[in-house]
Structure 1
Amino acid sequence: MSKETKWAICSTCDINCGLLVTVEDGLVKSIKKNPDHPLTPNSICVKGANANKYITHPDRLTHALKRVGDRGSGQWEQISTKQALDEIADKMKQLIAEDGPETIGSTYGWSSNAGAASRRFMNLLGSPNWTWTGYVCLANSTVPSKATYGFWQFPDFHNTKCIVLLGHAPGPQRWTAEYLWIKDALDRGAKLIVTDPRRNSYSDQADIFLQIKPATDSAYLLAWINVIIEEDLYDKEFVEKWTVGFEQLAERVKEYSPEWASEITGAPADKIREAARMYATNGPAVIPWGAVPDHHANSTQTLRALTILRSITGNLDVPGGELLMGYHPEILSDDEFELNDRLPVEQRKKMLGIDRFKLLSWETLEKTGPAMEKVWGKKYSNQVSGGAMAHPASMWEAMKTGKPYRLRALISQCNNTLNSYPNTTHIYEGLMSLDLLVVMDLIKSPTAQIADYILPATHWLERPNLFNYWDWIPVYQGGQQSVQAPEECLHDWMLWRELGVRLGQEKDWPSTMEDAYDERLKPAGLTWEKLSTQDRASAPEITFKKYEKTGFGTPSGKVELYSSIFEELGYDPLPSWIEPPESHVRKPELAKTHPLTFFTGMRENYWFHSFGLGRSIKELRSREPDPRMQIHPDTAYDLDLSDGDWAWVESTSGKRIKLRSWLSNDTHPNVVRVPHGWWYPETTGSEELEAALSSLWKSADAVILHDSDEYCDKEQGNFQLRGLACKVYKVEDGTEGTSYIA
């Protein structure tokens, strides 16, 4: 009997914890926390601990499938992966010959570690229509930071004295490593400020808790800036020496008093003022990333307010503050591997959505490029796969209508597209209009069920992983492959390499993923074998206040409180408040027809996103059998709802989804919390059920969300997922749905 322990990196969520995987005779026997991991010691959640159940599950895809009936009919032919790749490449050649490379689009998801490879393939192909689920959250956070101070910040939890959590609640079973970092900081005495529409796991231990209305974050953040400037709590030396636009900022925020913000947010003005003072006077302080600011139609200016708060309080690139860590000086970055300079200029201009949402365009990358290159040595900075991205809703529209041109093919990698972006109906209509839909996944997701080809993917236990948080930090980890994948399963990276070779890109692709890793590590004197089995990680020495030698990576070389990039693009160079598209202030008539406000996007403990296989694992699904709507008991009483009753949640789109009632005093009486990403993999199987896409339409939050421009952030195009109007009513027709029985 052979037994060994592998150092693996879990890619279930964006934390990517380092784990110890015990393997006996080629099978995973246990998955445990790694006490010696350099970044995430002793971190593991229930999803990672049960990952071996994914790779042995009977629903796991192990062979390529080709559609032989009508799209979505559930009729498939099993073929070899090689044949599938050959046929896919041939079809792509035909479409490119007819309509140009821009007719091909791609999207990928969190479970893949091939974002740089997919972008490399698309750049070499000549198509600008690359996107991913980071458009909805995380990736869209990076550009406002780069426009303000030239890099995306990383919080130094280990030395901080104050933490601000904006609707962000890491816990033992979600973002576990961050939960441990925060716990350590609080144990050392750090102050804690929490804002959330509902009481969360941090509310009771917070020094200040602000229970706000959903989607009103930018209002109280602007009020914080107002207080900090009015009361002279800002870092005067830093502001005078290292910022531009302070006078304009001070003038702008005069109108944004705590009393003004209180009317909008519902939080008391004195508490807003107290929170601003606590943040400004208890530095060094951090405001770690959380998804909430990314989920608004005023997201960009909310993010700008956050960058300004970090800046004027002197928290940039200092111990315990927000670190601007830059790139590893010797290892080839994701940005460089993407070969962004190979996408022709004329093709960049064809990227869907940039006629309206310019901040995520190649134009912006070119504007930020010179300063980024001067300070960080990289012109094209797509940190966290942000930067230039096609607008998802514009892609569906191009598929459906052919405007401004026809998008005829989509490659969806480990991304349940129908359930990963808002407005499932729009996405479905777009995908059903395609000439070619290729889905690569571990399971036959709803999106896979309407594909032309399904390619079987590898799991993170079955592939090596060179990981550095997508160029967020300059620390490279080596994650070993724990076990062999089924023979026909394809590594995420290899999908793009194999298609690239078939489409004339062979000279631009290393032969294997390990060869690519070796190329990237070579300048540092490392090999993949050495990093993954001996060194485990490679990182430069952390230094602080690097801007004192280099300046900031902005056109002025300073923190641009008044953003020249925004101004050149035609956007407001200063942050401002915009009423959410469906607030009862903006549309008072909705108070009669849709009196409640809902938000979605929160991650569950037992699955991170819309990936369905987790909902097929007994050990996970038994803990959360059904999708639950959190609602206040008083509100539920008025609606004749008891705990556990099935209820409809209907948005202004006229669409509705069915959820179990979860009565909780933690939520505001006017607010409903809707879970993210639900579908029912147990209903997949027969042709009749498969045509219904595994009951996707029953409970998926994306079904009731909007994606028209009115609901999009005007600078970046990300979507309003919070603070939307709804009505809730009891299911009376006897169709309570099928509760999963483990």
Structure 2
Amino acid sequence: MREKLCTCVFCDGGCALRVADEDGQLRARPADPGFPALCSKAHLIDEYRLHPDRITHPLRRVGERGSGRWERVSWEVALDEIAVKLRQVIDTWGPEALAVSEMPLNHGFGGITRRLMNGLGSPNYITALQLCMGNTAQVHRAVYGGFTLANWDVADCVVYFGQDRSPEKWPAEHLRLRAALGRGAKLVVVDPRETDTARLADFHLRIRYGTDAALVLAWIHVIIAEGLFDERFVEEQCEGFAVLADRVRPWTPERAADVCGVDAALIRETARVYASARAAVIPWGATADMQVNSTALIQAQCILRAICGFVGVSETLPALAHGGVTNSELAAFELISPGQRAKQLGADAHPLLTFAASARYAGVRERLGVPYEPDLMAMSCAADAASVFRAMCTGDPYPVRAFISAANNTVMSYANQQGIVEALLAQELVVVFEHWMTPTAQLADYVLPGDMWAERDVLGKPFDVAPVLTASSALRVPAGECRSWYFVVSELARRLGAGALFPWRDERELYDWRLAPLGLTFAELEERGSCPNGTLPARGGFATPTGKVELASSVLRDLGFDPLPNYAEPRDLGAEAAEAAAPASESAAAAGDRAADDAFADEAAAAAPEVGQRAGRLYPYVIFAGLREAANYNTNLRQMPSLRAREPEPCALVNPADVAREGLAAGAWCAVETAHGRVELMVRPDEAQPAGTLRVPHGWWKPERAPGLAGGLSAANLHGDGLLFPDDAWNVDAAQGLPNLRGGIRARILPLG
């Protein structure tokens, strides 16, 4: 095999590789020798694709759902039976009774799932991008009309919210950060933990978990009050500056210091550092995506970039793609009727990521001459995940009876894992497209074996965010009977009478069709690696309803929300209710000797002054989810021996003082409990973890443990962080429907054994 260009998807960093066959083994190296962005996972291609536990043949459930019993069937039989059952569901309950959860990055295709769903008439598409970047893109869109990307080449000031980059975690961005620091760029890190990245910082603001929005409001206050903003850009390009100034006037550094737990002088100084930079950047990070104040925080970050004049300088705002067929055009949203759009679950309560918000940009598309409905980061026209799972369980507001999970471990990808399990058990049909017998696959009726990234040709990116097209080449044929997601979707479409939507014989023919307007074939793009996908003329300026940067968002206002950012202290109503209901003796027993420990009470109040007072002693710790371990990717890669050896067990990070106070020991097992659920984790003392807080890892299950409900879904029901966090209305960002996982939820930690 000659050396080929491809994109690694062993994590979401998407590093570009050159891979060659050396003595029968695939060997990877950086695509650009001068930019060695490559982590250790990239060397595991053969170990992954040839793993003995990989599913390589279609499987059909035998016995009760979740029994763990399967039989091998042919693709023909599996697809025929799935199509018959899907048709029965659609004919009985309507097309909206089908819901799909997918991760396009993992299977390599954008647009085709929506194309089938739009053709059938189902609006109930969800993806975990609701919790990770996809939602950020929609808030950016409400302010700018698109998603800004940091221009690292010019950055002289970098502001990180919670990110910790390293050669093993997003190595490409780690290299860009190091290069910027080498040029003399200032680094400001906002993070309660003292991470490796924070140790590089010129300024480290160790704020209280979940208070980021209050900090940014104070920065905006300082910048406006001291006249540090870009007056010309604000006057010519922005709408809503006067009402913004009124909003942030009360948010003095002193007020934010009380909320965030950092010094007011440091808040004032870092605001000045940012505003005085020539080319500051705030790179994307998932920390802002999983808070109850997520919309406010992301919107405030967008405003900060704009009023300081960095949009179009160091913060690139790509135009909408135009030329080659985009994922959004391929999705063909014109196929789904207004009546079916109106049935989209969650659009009434949490509309920002739904068709209801997309409709607010119809005039923008007409003004700019955009010939399609943009689906930015696959989350501009999506249903609300919690509302979908609720309808699957209860039939309210209508029944959802068939569910497809495509290349994402749905059970462990959202909050309220218990409710998702219940939702899948209530279905008439569950289909999973996977590599492994994941906890989600264990609840399926059919498990379809998918190809992996080294076994497929990909026309990227699989979601629309910038006008560029990339090619990633297959390195091997798929193992066993593994097939592509395009094969599955097109074959189901044919069986459901929608075959005309997929006239292309295979994915390469589809790619040639998508590239034809650019005068390219996929084979030619493979040689190049990437190409621009044109831009639309910038008539009317920014792609917002007003054509300007909307500091006060008309889209949020029209959807019934505050058009300006603000901060609301998170509350854990579950913990408050449990505290109120618990007898005084139980609360004291749960707290142990802490009930009379004034020093601990002072620490807890300092760590969480308002929430701590309300939650009382039953749940004394603030919990933070989503710890990203370098040795895995979300819920994947725990099958790999070399990676598992680095992180053999799921660990809770606990401040050593709290370890001692609770009578715990390093390496001992403990129970971490919230009012919503309980997990078992190993204790890892960590000086970087603030006292009075706990941090728990994301997506832990054990592939070696017994599958099925009797085995706790391979221990997912014992270790999964989604068990700890509710998706109740009080714990979500109202505009987005996104659950709060980062600040405000209370927990307790108990020894085991």
| TM-score category of the 2 structures, normalised to the smaller one | over 0.9
The reply to whether residue 79 of structure 1 matches residue 73 of structure 2 is yes
Which residue does the alignment assign to 1:458? 451
Which residue does the alignment assign to 1:737? none
Distance 1:411 1:349 in 2: 21
Which residue does the alignment assign to 1:17? 15
| Residues 60, 373 of structure 1: alpha-carbon distance in 2 compared, 3 angstrom cutoff | farther
Alignment check: 8 A CA contact 1:370 1:379 kept: no
| Residues 501, 469 of structure 1: alpha-carbon distance in 2 compared, 3 angstrom cutoff | closer
The reply to whether residue 248 of structure 1 matches residue 268 of structure 2 is no
Match of 2:136 among 133, 141, 146: 141
Match of 1:567 among 544, 551, 557: 557
Match runs of 1:226-241 below 5 Å: 226-241=221-236
* Cα deviation 1:470-520 (Å, max 9, x = unaligned): 222222111100000034212122221111111122111122111111111
Match runs of 1:695-706 below 5 Å: 695-706=715-726
* Cα deviation 1:20-71 (Å, max 9, x = unaligned): 222368x54322222269xxx4211122221321111110000111011001
| Residues 493, 12 of structure 1: alpha-carbon distance in 2 compared, 3 angstrom cutoff | farther
Is there any run of 5+ residues in structure 2 with no aligned partner, and where?
573-607
Alignment check: 8 A CA contact 1:225 1:253 kept: yes
Distance 2:380 2:679 in 1: 34
Distance 1:302 1:385 in 2: 21
Distance 2:629 2:369 in 1: 37
Distance 1:120 1:622 in 2: 42
Alignment check: 8 A CA contact 1:327 1:376 kept: no
Amino acid at match of 2:8: C
Alignment check: 8 A CA contact 1:4 1:24 kept: no
Match of 1:444 among 437, 442, 446: 437
Distance 1:661 1:531 in 2: 50
The reply to whether residue 31 of structure 1 matches residue 28 of structure 2 is yes
Amino acid at match of 1:32: R
Report the alpha carbon displacement of residue 114 of structure 1 after superposing the two structures with TM.
2.2
Match of 2:173 among 150, 172, 178: 178
Report the alpha carbon displacement of residue 156 of structure 1 after superposing the two structures with TM.
0.2
Which residue does the alignment assign to 1:96? 90
Report the alpha carbon displacement of residue 141 of structure 1 after superposing the two structures with TM.
0.6
Alignment check: 8 A CA contact 2:17 2:28 kept: yes
Deviates more, 1:365-374 or 1:515-524: 365-374
- Three-state SS of the structure 1 residue aligned to 2:569 is coil
Which residue does the alignment assign to 2:37? 43
Distance 1:201 1:244 in 2: 39
The reply to whether residue 660 of structure 1 matches residue 682 of structure 2 is yes
Identity %: 36
| Residues 378, 449 of structure 1: alpha-carbon distance in 2 compared, 3 angstrom cutoff | same
Deviates more, 1:574-583 or 1:705-714: 574-583
Which residue does the alignment assign to 2:585? none
Which residue does the alignment assign to 2:630? 605
Distance 2:49 2:479 in 1: 9
The reply to whether residue 638 of structure 1 matches residue 661 of structure 2 is yes
* Cα deviation 1:246-296 (Å, max 9, x = unaligned): 000000101111111111111111111111111111121110110011101
Which residue does the alignment assign to 1:195? 190
TM-score, normalised via structure 2 length: 0.92
Distance 1:175 1:351 in 2: 35
- Three-state SS of the structure 2 residue aligned to 1:597 is strand
Match of 2:701 among 663, 679, 694: 679
Which residue does the alignment assign to 2:472? 479
Amino acid at match of 1:692: G
* Cα deviation 1:692-719 (Å, max 9, x = unaligned): 2101111110111111111111101001
Match runs of 1:393-408 below 5 Å: 393-408=386-401
Amino acid at match of 2:701: W
Match of 2:54 among 55, 60, 67: 60
Amino acid at match of 2:31: N
| Residues 606, 639 of structure 1: alpha-carbon distance in 2 compared, 3 angstrom cutoff | same
Distance 2:390 2:418 in 1: 11
TM-score, normalised via structure 1 length: 0.94
| Residues 372, 223 of structure 1: alpha-carbon distance in 2 compared, 3 angstrom cutoff | farther
Alignment check: 8 A CA contact 2:150 2:283 kept: yes
The reply to whether residue 617 of structure 1 matches residue 640 of structure 2 is yes
Which residue does the alignment assign to 1:670? 692
* Cα deviation 1:293-338 (Å, max 9, x = unaligned): 11011211111111110110001112xx111112343211111111
Distance 2:534 2:469 in 1: 13
Distance 1:249 1:720 in 2: 25
- Three-state SS of the structure 2 residue aligned to 1:186 is helix
Amino acid at match of 1:512: D
Match of 2:290 among 273, 295, 301: 295
- Three-state SS of the structure 2 residue aligned to 1:694 is helix
- Three-state SS of the structure 2 residue aligned to 1:111 is helix
Which residue does the alignment assign to 1:5? 3
- Three-state SS of the structure 2 residue aligned to 1:159 is coil
Alignment check: 8 A CA contact 2:162 2:287 kept: yes
Deviates more, 1:173-182 or 1:441-450: 173-182
Which residue does the alignment assign to 1:719? 739
Match runs of 1:319-718 below 5 Å: 321-375=314-368, 377-468=370-461, 470-509=463-502, 510-532=504-526, 534-539=527-532, 550-582=540-572, 585-586=610-611, 588-611=613-636, 614-653=637-676, 655-684=677-706, 691-718=711-738
Report the alpha carbon displacement of residue 447 of structure 1 after superposing the two structures with TM.
0.8
Report the alpha carbon displacement of residue 340 of structure 1 after superposing the two structures with TM.
1.0
Alignment check: 8 A CA contact 1:373 1:379 kept: no
Count residues with an aligned counterpart.
716
Is there any run of 5+ residues in structure 1 with no aligned partner, and where?
734-742
Distance 2:187 2:112 in 1: 39
Report the alpha carbon displacement of residue 665 of structure 1 after superposing the two structures with TM.
1.2
* Cα deviation 1:182-209 (Å, max 9, x = unaligned): 1111111111100111011111211110
Report the alpha carbon displacement of residue 731 of structure 1 after superposing the two structures with TM.
2.9
Alignment check: 8 A CA contact 1:631 1:662 kept: yes
Distance 2:745 2:299 in 1: 26
Alignment check: 8 A CA contact 2:107 2:407 kept: yes
Alignment check: 8 A CA contact 1:449 1:690 kept: no
- Three-state SS of the structure 2 residue aligned to 1:206 is coil
Alignment check: 8 A CA contact 2:165 2:173 kept: yes
| Residues 571, 379 of structure 1: alpha-carbon distance in 2 compared, 3 angstrom cutoff | farther
